[in-house]
A and B are shown apart, each in its own frame.
Chain A
Amino acid sequence: DSGVTQTPKHLITATGQRVTLRCSPRSGDLSVYWYQQSLDQGLQFLIQYYNGEERAKGNILERFSAQQFPDLHSELNLSSLELGDSALYFCASSVGLGVMSGANVLTFGAGSRLTVL
């Protein structure tokens, strides 16, 4: 158990639908990152939050959005789902900015597998 909790583990839905993926970071971590990994593909960075604020954005589609709440858990919302959105979605957390400058060790959750039919 890495300490990063993601729910649900598996999700099957239909095209056009909307889903929400949830992530609870490791205790003490202030930064949350979301990644998408399609079949046999690398990890695509989507977005980062630090202590409730968006800090970095990657290749996140406009149909996707995320937020980090005061208790530091984060949600990734995926809407108007398409077949190509089927993937593993990982959440990771780190202690955060300004701590051990340069250190960027991420702790990943087990992922949420999304299947769009």
Chain B
Amino acid sequence: LAKTTQPISMDSYEGQEVNITCSHNNIATNDYITWYQQFPSQGPRFIIQGYKTKVTNEVASLFIPADRKSSTLSLPRVSLSDTAVYYCLVGAINEAAGNKLTFGGGTRVLVKP
């Protein structure tokens, strides 16, 4: 499973765009990039997943450059309720070895009024 590196924390203000970059230099060909959001005392929640280029859904956008060694989660016009920890996961299902899906430390995003 590819090791990921994210900033420990980020502060933002309501209405701003938040961009969180995750580095994954040893990403493998079959690996997907998945982002989760976790509120205090709750289980993580899937936000978005991508393999290459750009993916957008109703919640966020995910930008992946051609070399796939990093990815950026973009949260448009954040609100106070977007204050949470955001985790980047890189990996693929491996039928032989199972899937450990190890979460890194995540990025703690604080949205201020």
Contact = CB atoms under 8 A, between A and B. Distances in A.
A114 interface: no
Contacts of B93: 97-99, 101-104
Contacts of B98: 48, 50, 54-56, 97
Contact of B43 (A2, A48, A94, A102): A2
From B45, B103, B104, name the one whose CB has the most chain A CB atoms within 10 angstroms.
B103
Given A56-B99, A102-B31, A110 B43 contact: yes
Contact of A111 (B43, B46, B87): B43
A56 B93 CA distance: 11
B43 A90 contact: yes
The interface centre, meaning the residue of A58, A102, A108 with most chain B CB atoms within 10 A of its CB, is A102
Given A48-B99, A56-B97, A104-B91, A92 B51 contact: no
A112 to B, nearest CB: 11
Interface of A: 2, 4, 31, 33, 35, 42-43, 45, 48, 50, 54-56, 58, 88, 90, 92, 94, 97-99, 101-111, 113
Given A48-B99, A92-B44, 7 more contacts: A45-B101, A45-B102, A97-B93, A97-B99, A102-B32, A102-B93, A104-B93
